[in-house]
Structure 1
Amino acid sequence: MTDSMLDEGFWESRPLFSFVRDYARACRVAPAALLDTVLTRVSALVPPTVTAPAFVGSGPITLNLFLALWGASGAGKGSTISTAASLIPDLRGAVETQPASGEGLVAIFAGRRFRENPEDPKAHESELFCTNPRALLSIPEIRSLGGAASRQGSTIVPTLTSAFSGEALGAWNKGESDRLMVPRYGYSLALITGVQPANADILTNETGTGLPQRFLWASTTDPQAPEQRPKRPMGSLPVRLDDIPCDPPRDDMDFLYQQRDRSNMLNPDRRYPLTVLGYPRTVWQEVDGQRVRALHGQATDPLDTHRLLVGVKVAGVLAMTEGREQVNVDDWQAAKAIVDESINTRRQCLDQGREAQKTRIADSMQIKGEASESLEARKEQTVRNAILRALNDDPASYEGIKGYTLRQKCGRNGPLCYRVLETMLDEGLVEQVGETTGRASNDLWTLPV
């Protein structure tokens, strides 16, 4: 297959891709954006016990995907999301919501319930349990996430970065009734957000936290869109979603929550087993090579540090669409093409975002400059009026009034008095009496006869 999503060879490489392309064109949305949105929805279907291997470290990684749909207002971000939902309407009961806080995100998955104590019926004890094993976070506009993240004490960003990696969520609060924790391999989470170029900095400003590196980026434009709308392809989306493994029994998930981690179980591989997908040797070699370069301190673009990790997740989701637990080389090549296009899209978004930011700054400076000029003009006019009023009202003004006296009449705008007097002299609005001293403050000023 081709190495680029821009080539037709990519879209013809598997039935899923060609169907999504044709369906997108018929619905007037961008094929790349629709494909990424479909894959993100599929990732929400994958049980938290289905993982990729531990390419780095010792813990297998979940297939949670995050997606940023890039486009201007009205470019089709919402249409893309709704079109993907029509292709994959059933998310196995996933909570579809917009996150308000890190604590709220934890509460999607974990809850507490009363637990009876046979030895002490009056005891008020509670235990953790899994309220729902999966969620799809929908953030129509990235500004909503930026607003939540900017609140004092907000934990939404670190919670999301942990959730992408499938790490444990929550904190050990003092009060048991408020103590909600979500263990590793106890939840599946996908996220889709809309990003306008002018607001991309809300996401990319979090480079230090690692959040934007974890996203797929997809443009809502389609330069190759045909002038005439094609017909929708016949049939349904060619995926084998029924072959995706089921969630563990709810009692087993509740037990995991109560133990807080698989490692606390006596026999975790039997009590709460994981399904670790197989990956080709080439994937291991590429990931290992990147990791060695990082260990050697070789510099890389901070925004590209997770590109292979995202590719590993995409490849795993592609295998899931065909009901396979073995990722093949074609999955990996397709995933790399998707991630490469994601990086190109992100760069375009950031470039446009920077230009938009420059324009906003320039416009702001111009507005401030115009406002400053307008304020200065109003002050000068106030000084003119004060000077004319003082010369008109004083019966002895025909003999001249000292400049410093006129300055006093100008109040808080006094510092402008002498400059305005010189301008009014040039305009013939005032005259000097007697010999000039060279200092406007000591000269005598009067109205023209």
Structure 2
Amino acid sequence: MTTVAYTAIDRLRDVLRDMGEQTRADRGDAFRVRGICHDGDAPDTVSVRRVGGKVAIHCHKCGGDDEFLTVIGWTVADLYDEPLKGRQDRAAMPPCPRPAPAPPKPAKGRVKAKRPLRGEVAAYPYCDENGALLYEVVRIELPGQDKEFRQLNADGYFGVEGVRRVLYRLPEVLATAQAGGTILVVEGEKDADNLARIGTCATTAAGGAKAEWLPEYTQALKGASDVVVVADNDEPGKERALRVTAALVSAGIPARAVLPAVDAPKADVTDHLAAGYGFDDLTPLMATVGRYPQFGDEPLDRLPESFWNATSQLRQIRQMAHARRAAPDAVLHASLARLGALAAPSVRVDSEIKRPATIGWYCGLYGPSGAGKGTAEDCAEELMPFPGFVADDLAVVDPSTGQGIIDAYLAFETDPDDEDGKRKIKVQKKTRGYITATEGAILNEMAQMKAGGTLNAVLCKAWMSERQGTSNATTELKRELHKGAYVASMSLGVQEEPAARLLEAGNIGLPQRLAWAHATLGPDTPMQRPPTTGEVTVTGPDGRDVPVTHWVASLRGLDIKIPPQAVEEVDGLTLDIARGRGAEYPLDTHEPLWLLKAAALLALLHGYTKVTDEQWELAKVMWQVSRRVRDGVQEAAERRQEAKAAALRAEAVRTAVEAQTATFEALNGVHPLVVSVAKRVGRWLANRPGEHEMRKVRDGAKPSSAENRRYRESGAENSLWSAALGYAVDERWVVALNDGATLAAGAVAPPA
């Protein structure tokens, strides 16, 4: 019977298993394990292998081989199969005793930190509002390595799983916020401490630039008069500052993002202070659209990161779009169109200037065939499914004709004025409508509409819930929708050519009503697809979450008010348009009502019955982005038109040249290109006395590729160069010597 020796690697494997650690890629004489030397999360950071009767251990993260031994309670001697002293034949010795099991751990896999940690230079305590320690962040600096941070629980073990997360210096932060003071949010604990030393309240959150900004952090800052988010001068730092600023602004906290005045890579606020700069020298990080930041590197024709991070509902819509590989902007607008279709006609937005308006929403999802318009619509349907209880009141319409849209709201019933009870008439039975067309001939039909076209007229009136129909017809043919008695939303997939023609015919009215969005995927599309989210919900009066579509569909008799500042802005826009801006910018004539509808829908999306300042600002961002998409479509159309015009001009020039060539040949018996090249050869030789090889002359005066092409297109079959050379010799501009091997200037100079 063969006896298998109990080696050091076997002992180590058992010790690790007793500690609750799992080995990976275990081949007997080698395996991998978690980096318990630095409380790592990756399951295979440390490699272990048996080499020549000894175990070799290496951590690929921190190189902490000695710390690994300290954690498991071993010394270097324990790494050998046999004792270091008095080694004997292993078969004659009893197996090495297994070490005693490690003491019980408070939780599986947790490791006690041995303080100070190797390379520890500072420890930053995170305390609750009463000053009780919750956890620490330890700063590690080792020669030749990047700085590192490790988080320790208050009980001294690595890791803070399950521990309440708070802002750094929380008691001071809460006191300053409650007093209405200014608070700086920085990226690191060292920065916060340096600011505190000069009397400034500053805080941060553990985890660095990529750590999640939690709602609890935002809550702790409520009451502050000004929150200044200071970014480190690198991309992760800037992105974090924008993300935090958007979260604070959406919660109603005045916030702005700034950069250090030190223009050096990765410069932080500590560098700013060391350079002698003060608080007033911090420079704005971002350009802004309204109160919402828009980072300079983001495309201007897509909704910015700060918009999506403003609320949980917007984040959910973008996550769902990313999960379905759809464009978030297109999914948002299609979702708002579905939400607007569910709002009863008595749910209106009130500007206090004109009569309250219904909130039906029209969106144009722009992109080439197969770009994802249908995918965006399907994604919006998952987020905003129509409730079953509105089926009898909701018309889902394919817009083939204007009359067909009207008929979708109507149904036959017996005419009450008919004594025989046999005559049928159409009356309105439905009040809500959703019009959708993602592809098909309807796009071309819309693009070719005239101002008086039936389909266009119906769609334009439906956006404003104006009266529709043929009230002057006979009783049997009468079709009528009363003003304000119905609502219509539309999600329209628009391809490039029809979109361009639609905008060229801007006077028909439909383009002004559309919210334009790219249906193609943008640069923010993640490589790793996130999970799907399900439908959007809001919190009901009883505190329970309900689908937002159910809540909106149940609303009746609601006038959605806008903030006083928004009333002033709408009034100003209305006056500008009335005073002539509408003639200068005809596609912007419906901006006031567009903004009102967008703001009202955003309010309903978030469970509000009136528009907040933040929702009004978000609506303004949507308008600006929609305009940029629309302007991009126009610019593309103009470029196409210019290219077509250039092609036509080139064809006209070519035709004229051909006609001129034919005339010249008829009068002179030779092609003008032959004469032109012949003159060039004569002048080249006249400027260079003596004989020259044919090759050299050809290199200096040969026809261009364009000349050769034009000569061939004229129908010539011989070589342009040969024809030109023969003509130059005949005209005595050139003399051929040595059987044409060399050339020289002739007795006659070529004419000008």
Correspondence for 2:510 among 194, 208, 211: 211
Amino acid at match of 2:347: V
Correspondence for 1:13 among 288, 310, 328: 310
Amino acid at match of 2:612: N
Q: Is the 8 A contact 1:112 1:129 kept in 2?
A: yes
Q: Is the 8 A contact 1:55 1:287 kept in 2?
A: no
How far residue 10 of structure 1 moved from its aligned partner, in angstroms, is 1.5
Q: Is the 8 A contact 1:149 1:157 kept in 2?
A: no
Matches within 5 A, 1:135-150: 135-141=433-439, 144-147=442-445, 150=448
| Alpha carbons of structure 1 residues 365 and 53: separation in structure 2 relative to 1, 3 Å | same
Q: Mean Cα displacement is larger for which, 355-364 or 311-320?
A: 355-364
Correspondence for 1:97 among 372, 377, 397: 397
Normalising to structure 1: TM-score of the pair? 0.69
**In 2, Cα distance between equivalents of 1:368 and 1:191:** 44
Q: Is the 8 A contact 2:460 2:510 kept in 1?
A: yes
Correspondence for 2:334 among 28, 34, 37: 37
- How many residues matched? 351
Amino acid at match of 2:395: V
Q: Is the 8 A contact 2:410 2:426 kept in 1?
A: yes
Q: Is the 8 A contact 1:66 1:164 kept in 2?
A: yes
Q: Secondary structure at the match of 2:531?
A: coil
Correspondence for 1:303 among 571, 577, 587: 587
Q: Is the 8 A contact 2:383 2:536 kept in 1?
A: yes
**In 2, Cα distance between equivalents of 1:175 and 1:370:** 62
How far residue 360 of structure 1 moved from its aligned partner, in angstroms, is 4.9
Identity of aligned residues (%): 25
How far residue 199 of structure 1 moved from its aligned partner, in angstroms, is 2.3
Kindly indicate whether residue 351 of structure 2 is the aligned counterpart of residue 68 of structure 1. no
**In 1, Cα distance between equivalents of 2:653 and 2:347:** 59
Q: Deviations over 1:118-164 (max 9, x none)?
A: xx733656565323222211122485244267589741111111110
| Alpha carbons of structure 1 residues 87 and 363: separation in structure 2 relative to 1, 3 Å | farther
**In 2, Cα distance between equivalents of 1:87 and 1:370:** 57
Normalising to structure 2: TM-score of the pair? 0.43
Q: Is the 8 A contact 1:311 1:335 kept in 2?
A: yes
Amino acid at match of 2:489: A
Other-structure match for 2:622 = 338
Amino acid at match of 1:165: M
Matches within 5 A, 1:48-59: 48-53=345-350, 55-57=352-354, 59=355
Kindly indicate whether residue 323 of structure 2 is the aligned counterpart of residue 26 of structure 1. yes
Unaligned runs of 5+ in 2: 1-245, 247-291, 295-301, 539-547, 659-714, 716-722, 724-752
Kindly indicate whether residue 437 of structure 2 is the aligned counterpart of residue 129 of structure 1. no
Which structure's CA Rg is the greater one?
2
| Alpha carbons of structure 1 residues 72 and 368: separation in structure 2 relative to 1, 3 Å | farther
Amino acid at match of 1:172: S
| Alpha carbons of structure 1 residues 88 and 367: separation in structure 2 relative to 1, 3 Å | farther
Amino acid at match of 1:160: L
Other-structure match for 2:415 = 115
Q: Secondary structure at the match of 1:346?
A: helix
**In 1, Cα distance between equivalents of 2:653 and 2:370:** 33
Kindly indicate whether residue 525 of structure 2 is the aligned counterpart of residue 241 of structure 1. no
Kindly indicate whether residue 381 of structure 2 is the aligned counterpart of residue 85 of structure 1. yes
Kindly indicate whether residue 563 of structure 2 is the aligned counterpart of residue 280 of structure 1. yes
Amino acid at match of 1:137: I
| Alpha carbons of structure 1 residues 195 and 373: separation in structure 2 relative to 1, 3 Å | farther
Q: Secondary structure at the match of 1:95?
A: strand
Amino acid at match of 2:478: R
| Alpha carbons of structure 1 residues 116 and 205: separation in structure 2 relative to 1, 3 Å | same
Q: Deviations over 1:305-340 (max 9, x none)?
A: 212211110111111123322111111111111111
Unaligned runs of 5+ in 1: 249-273, 375-419, 421-426, 428-449
Other-structure match for 1:440 = none
Q: Is the 8 A contact 1:241 1:323 kept in 2?
A: no
**In 1, Cα distance between equivalents of 2:304 and 2:631:** 20
Other-structure match for 2:710 = none
Q: Is the 8 A contact 1:149 1:156 kept in 2?
A: no
Q: Secondary structure at the match of 1:225?
A: coil
Q: Secondary structure at the match of 2:500?
A: helix
**In 1, Cα distance between equivalents of 2:349 and 2:420:** 46
Correspondence for 2:573 among 290, 299, 310: 290
- Compare the two structures and name the one with the higher strand fraction: 2
Other-structure match for 1:324 = 608
- Give the CA RMSD over aligned residues: 3.3
**In 1, Cα distance between equivalents of 2:358 and 2:321:** 28
**In 2, Cα distance between equivalents of 1:139 and 1:170:** 22
Q: Is the 8 A contact 1:148 1:154 kept in 2?
A: no
How far residue 184 of structure 1 moved from its aligned partner, in angstroms, is 2.1
Q: Is the 8 A contact 2:574 2:592 kept in 1?
A: no
Kindly indicate whether residue 533 of structure 2 is the aligned counterpart of residue 224 of structure 1. no
| Alpha carbons of structure 1 residues 226 and 279: separation in structure 2 relative to 1, 3 Å | closer
Amino acid at match of 1:284: V
Q: Secondary structure at the match of 1:316?
A: helix
How far residue 373 of structure 1 moved from its aligned partner, in angstroms, is 12
| Alpha carbons of structure 1 residues 88 and 138: separation in structure 2 relative to 1, 3 Å | same
